[in-house]
Structure 1
Amino acid sequence: MPRIFSALSVLLAVGCESPAPRDAWALAFPAPQHWSSNGHFAEPAATGWLEAFNDARLTVLVKGGLTDNFDLQSAAARVEAAREQAVIAGSERWPQLAFTPGYQRAKINTGGESSEYGAFTAMFNLSWELDVWGRIKAGQQAAETEAEAAGDDYRAAQLSLAARIAQAYFELGEAQLQAAVAAQSVKDRGVIVELVRGRFNKGLTRGLDLRLVLTDLANAKAQLAQASNDVQLIGKRLQVLLGRYPGNDPVRQDGSNEFDPTFRLPQPPPTLSAGLPSELLERRPDVIAAFKRLRAADSRLESAEKALLPRVTLTGAGGSSSAALTEIIDPRAAAWNLAAGLAQPLFTGSRLQGEIRFNEAKVQEVFNQYQSVALNAFREVEQALAAEAWLRTQEQTLREAVEQTEASRKLAVYSYRQGLIEILTLLDSYRSTLNAQSAHLAVQRQLLNNRINLYLALGGGV
């Protein structure tokens, strides 16, 4: 008997225990006090990054994509499903009542004589497990926390979609500018071909020079074809992000899709506060979701451990039975019974112990997933901060290169007309100009994409 009471006291102690509260900053790696790539920022990080680019067309596209994108709509449906799953998990805490009407007919043989009997029944069945130890509540808490995590996943998907739309928009703008540069290069090469052909017809140059410039013109046309193909590829990708059919018009503004020749890639917003590293775990929705899933795993482990404790249930049944359908509502024909029971698992083939070990392993899995998500979040911020400084330096250098190559190209044309340089030098000056202009456009777009990556890494809202 003392052993029984001792065992019951242990069960009561286990039943009253709850998992220790989790600390989001209980990281397996040392978190920094300041960003190593960008110094110290006391003010919070900037939010509402979309308006910082001051591009009305971009704002319209992002807001439309957040409404029409099918992947985001699927994420919203997953949130609703997770919420209803929490409702299902919590329903076990309430009494379960069922009404079972029926009709019975029997034939009885007695002493060689038979008689038939028919009766209508109207029965109510009640079952209710009293959640004395909080086992069901822990399972419900796990489902509710996972539903909250699904909501955070949805917010992360919104931010990611907005970033991808903005980056695709800038990629499309760069591709159109690259195509315009390639088209201008084809036009310039055509002028050179006519210049060399005229000199060849006058016997002032060799046939090899003409062949070289014709080859260079063909290569320029091939580059233009590739640039035009890039435009349609990026345009169709952007349309899919916007939830539109990938047709021939990649972007519409006031019903028109004509490329604006005055379009320029915007400069990244000049100032940005990265905030403190301590804010990141509380701001990024993917990190928040990972932490909530860790708490949900703790709750599932708690529920599995409390399954070892006795279960207290109430059961009841009541109703009436009568041969006449009109008489089953007579209170005098009603009968009922009510019972209370206690079930203590004794031997389950190690099923309950296996569930505990399974949930312990899941806790470790989700804990390490949270560590990985948090560490990756810090990496993305540090990487974007460092990249912005290098990209700005590269952009300034390439801007100077464009100016120098344009000046050298004009000088090369003059020198060739005067017979001071060979045709290869002239062609090389054109190639250098095209390459510098193309590289400058690419790094401008990379600067914009990196700024968006930084906003996304910091968890800034749209």
Structure 2
Amino acid sequence: MPRFVASPRTSFHVSPWLLGLLLVTTSGCTLTPERNAADLSGTVPSRWTGTDQPGRPVFERWVDSFADPALSALVQESLAGNYDLKAVAARVDAAREQARIDGAWRWPQLAFAPGYERARVRSAGFGSTEFGAFEALFTLDWELDVWGRIRAFQQAAVQEAAATEADFHAARLSLAARTAQSYFELAEAKLQVEVAERSIQERRTIVELVRGRFARGLTRGLDLRLALTDLANAEAQLAVARNRVQLATRRLEVLLGRYPSGRLTATARLPEPPVSLSAGLPAELLARRPDLIAAFERLRAADFRVESAQKALLPRVALTAAGGTRSAALTELIDPRAAAWNVFMGLIQPLFTGGRLKGEIRLNQALAEEALNRYKSAALNAFREVEQSLAAEEWLRGQEQALREAVEQTEASRRLAVYAYRHGFIEILTLLDSYRSTLNAQSAHLSVKRQLLNNRIELYLALGGGV
């Protein structure tokens, strides 16, 4: 039987029965507070104020709700090829391994060091002597986690790994949303190019009309100059629209993990916005949004770090063992009778650390308070994002309908203006103004349609929808 003696770091002996009593009475000791996500988020209303539609939300794979196969394919490509998302995935793996590393000290640390030594000893007047020896040594160090200090430290790393995994899901949702919004931005830019090209064709027709009237002496040279100026301005607007296409194309290609060559082909179509969404209950948001889950997990990690720091004030029970064999003959290393070994067990009680341990407690308590307030702030902002997206959808739908009507009215007025100018009823400025109004109304209508689609994506993202 091994002999248990006090470590040289202490001045008292530890009996085995006392150690067993400590293990039984303190193994369940914990200082970590109980946390509830709903209680920490403040007052949660029973329903959203921005919508009158109750019910459980149905928005898993929300990308498919736009009924655009090309969009769904691009989102899946971005989720598979985006390098930023791959970096976050690697961070998840690193966090999991860090949790495994932090928990390794709960187990014995055993090392084996075999070796061979060859030496020559010279004696005055007697020549020299050479000898060799084989050795097989081992060491064992084990801090018995009586109070759960190491367990709490490991659990903090486990919670941090869970938070990092939630960060990955949040990044995945954000990437899908940015891909969809970039796709709609590209579609709108291409439609704006088509609108500008049609406007230029129509204005060239007007230039030819004015030039013919000027040749027949029916109008002034100023009218022709004004028509040519208006045509040049329309061509400048077309150049701006085409530049927006190449910018949007390259942004989307980077999100997909492709080289930004500007050669991505995408359909120039803005789908009609999906029907009104049932947003569910505000309380459900706390358990569904990945960023809120991550903030709560980091709060729990901070709590465990506080617990670990507090338990660092308690005595540590350490077990140290060393042993092995040494022989000139390799065959004798396996003879157990030649082994020498020793085992030490003792307590290490911090007495004076210059305020380091208590400072670490206060530091981790302050970090836990920071994590708590960050979680509360994240929850409040999550509610704001849902509420403002719900309210914005109502206003954007009204704006889209008004601009749709404006497009119809300006197109009708433009046709009337052309007829009136041909017959000399109006001046050239009135005719040109009707063309500018038509172009502006069409451009604004396309822009608000994209805003409505983007807002729906923001709502899906705010509600924690899946992809």
- Common fold: TM-score over 0.5: yes
* Match among 25, 39, 43 for residue 38 of structure 2: 25
Aligned partner of 1:274 in structure 2 is 279
Q: Secondary structure at the match of 1:426?
A: helix
Q: CA deviation at 1:330?
A: 2.3
Aligned partner of 2:111 in structure 1 is 98
Cα distance in 2 for partners of 1:269, 1:415 equals: 42
Q: Which amino acid aligns with 1:181?
A: V
> Higher mean Cα deviation, 14-23 or 285-294?
14-23
Q: CA deviation at 1:341?
A: 1.2
Aligned partner of 1:5 in structure 2 is none
> Do residues 328 (structure 1) and 333 (structure 2) align?
yes
1:214-229 alignment, distance < 5 Å: 214-229=228-243
Q: CA deviation at 1:41?
A: 1.5
Q: Which amino acid aligns with 1:191?
A: T
Distance 1:346 1:40, change over 3 A: farther
* Match among 299, 304, 319 for residue 294 of structure 1: 299
* Match among 355, 377, 385 for residue 380 of structure 1: 385
Q: Secondary structure at the match of 1:356?
A: helix
Q: CA deviation at 1:112?
A: 7.2
Distance 1:398 1:290, change over 3 A: same
* Match among 334, 337, 344 for residue 339 of structure 1: 344
Q: Secondary structure at the match of 2:322?
A: strand
Aligned partner of 1:135 in structure 2 is 149
Q: Is the 8 A contact 1:15 1:306 kept in 2?
A: no
Q: Secondary structure at the match of 1:204?
A: coil
Aligned partner of 1:41 in structure 2 is 54
Q: Is the 8 A contact 1:405 1:433 kept in 2?
A: yes
Structure 1: give runs of 5+ residues left out of the alignment.
1-8, 253-259
Deviations 1:124-153 (A, max 9, x none): 111111101000000111111111111111
Cα distance in 1 for partners of 2:162, 2:362 equals: 25
Q: CA deviation at 1:271?
A: 2.8
Aligned partner of 2:14 in structure 1 is none
Aligned residues: 444
Q: Is the 8 A contact 2:26 2:147 kept in 1?
A: no
> Do residues 264 (structure 1) and 269 (structure 2) align?
yes
Aligned partner of 1:82 in structure 2 is 95
Deviations 1:47-104 (A, max 9, x none): 2211111100001000011000000000100000000001101111111110112334
Q: Is the 8 A contact 1:34 1:40 kept in 2?
A: no
Aligned partner of 1:150 in structure 2 is 164
Q: Is the 8 A contact 1:14 1:306 kept in 2?
A: no
Q: Which amino acid aligns with 1:79?
A: V
Aligned partner of 1:182 in structure 2 is 196
Q: Secondary structure at the match of 2:38?
A: coil
> Do residues 416 (structure 1) and 430 (structure 2) align?
no
Q: CA deviation at 1:299?
A: 0.4
> Do residues 456 (structure 1) and 461 (structure 2) align?
yes
Q: Secondary structure at the match of 2:142?
A: strand
Q: CA deviation at 1:392?
A: 0.3
Q: CA deviation at 1:251?
A: 3.1
* Match among 60, 73, 79 for residue 86 of structure 2: 73
Aligned partner of 1:126 in structure 2 is 140
Q: Is the 8 A contact 1:239 1:250 kept in 2?
A: yes
Q: TM-score, normalised by structure 1?
A: 0.92
Cα distance in 2 for partners of 1:333, 1:239 equals: 70
Q: RMSD of the TM alignment (CA)?
A: 2.0
Cα distance in 1 for partners of 2:265, 2:377 equals: 38
Cα distance in 2 for partners of 1:134, 1:79 equals: 26
Distance 1:42 1:411, change over 3 A: same
Q: CA deviation at 1:13?
A: 7.9
1:344-423 alignment, distance < 5 Å: 344-423=349-428
* Match among 197, 201, 225 for residue 211 of structure 2: 197
Cα distance in 1 for partners of 2:294, 2:41 equals: 18
Aligned partner of 1:16 in structure 2 is 29
Q: Secondary structure at the match of 2:286?
A: helix
> Do residues 284 (structure 1) and 298 (structure 2) align?
no
1:307-322 alignment, distance < 5 Å: 307-322=312-327
Q: CA deviation at 1:323?
A: 1.8
Q: CA deviation at 1:110?
A: 8.1
Q: CA deviation at 1:336?
A: 1.4
Q: Secondary structure at the match of 1:279?
A: helix
Q: Is the 8 A contact 2:132 2:328 kept in 1?
A: yes
Cα distance in 2 for partners of 1:370, 1:427 equals: 57
Distance 1:367 1:14, change over 3 A: farther
Q: TM-score, normalised by structure 2?
A: 0.91
